[in-house]
Structure 1
C-alpha cells in the first residue's frame, strides 16, 4: 500500500457519499415513474366541434416510460457497483492502517490521511516538541522502509 492510496482516503469517503446521493435521486425518479404520472401536451388542430385551435392531450407514455426505467435501473446498478468498489478500497486502506505495528506512526497516518489535518495540526495533536516537518519526515521515512 502506498502513500498515494492513503491520500485518496478522504476523497473516497466523499465519493461514496456522492454516489449514495445519486442512488437516492435515481430511486426517487424510478418511484415517480412507477407511480404512473400522466403526460400533458398541447397541439394545434381541429376540435370535435370543428373549430381550429389548441387541443390539450393527456396520456400515459408507456414506450418511453419503459425505456427510461430500463436506463435508470442500469444507471443505478452502475452507481451501486462504483459505490461497492470505493467501499472496498476504503476498507482496504483502513485495514492497512490498523495493521501498522508502530502506534505512533498509526496515529500520525490517521490524523493526516483519514482526518485530513495539516502537518502542523498533526504535530499539535501528537503533542510534545513535534514539528510539522518532523511529522512529514517520519511518514516519508516510514514509506521509504516499505
Structure 2
C-alpha cells in the first residue's frame, strides 16, 4: 500500500457521492421521460432513443460507481486491519478524515508532533512498498 493509493480515499469518497447524485438525476430524468408518454408518431421513436441512451449512460455510471466503491472499501479495509492502534489512528485521521499532520498529531495526542506522526506513517507504509 502506498501513500498515493491512500491519498485517493478522499477523492474517491467525493467521486462516489457525485456519481450517486448523477444516478439520482438520471432516474428523475428517466421517470420524467416516461411521464411524457408521447403518442405513436408524435416523437415516440425519439423518446425511445433517449430512453436507451439514458439507460446506457446510467449503466456506465453505475459500473464506475461500483468500481469506486470496491477501491474505497479496499483502502478502508487495509487501514482497519492494521494491528497497531496508533498507526491505525494516524492513517485514519490523515487519509480517511482528510486532516493535516498537525491535526492528526493533536487528535492522537500523547505529545506527538506533526513530524512524528508523519514519520510513523511513512515508516509503516514503507514496509508495504518494499
Q: TM-score, normalised by structure 2?
A: 0.92
Structure 1: stretches of 5+ with no match in the other structure: 39-58
| The structure with more strand, counted as a fraction of residues | 1
Residue 76 of structure 1 pairs with residue 63 of structure 2: no
Bigger relative contact order (CA 8 A; separation at least 6): 2
RMSD: 1.3
The question of whether the paired residues in 2 share the 8 Å contact of 1:108 and 1:122 is answered with yes
Larger Cα-atom Rg: 1
Moved over 2 A (4+): none
Residue 143 of structure 1 pairs with residue 119 of structure 2: no
Residue 28 of structure 1 pairs with residue 10 of structure 2: no
Residue-pair matches, total: 126
Aligned residue number for residue 110 of structure 1: 92
| The structure with more helix, counted as a fraction of residues | 2
Q: TM-score, normalised by structure 1?
A: 0.82
Distance 1:108 1:125 in 2: 9
**Cα-to-partner distance string for 1:25-62 (whole Å, 9 max, x where unaligned):** 11111111111266xxxxxxxxxxxxxxxxxxxx8311
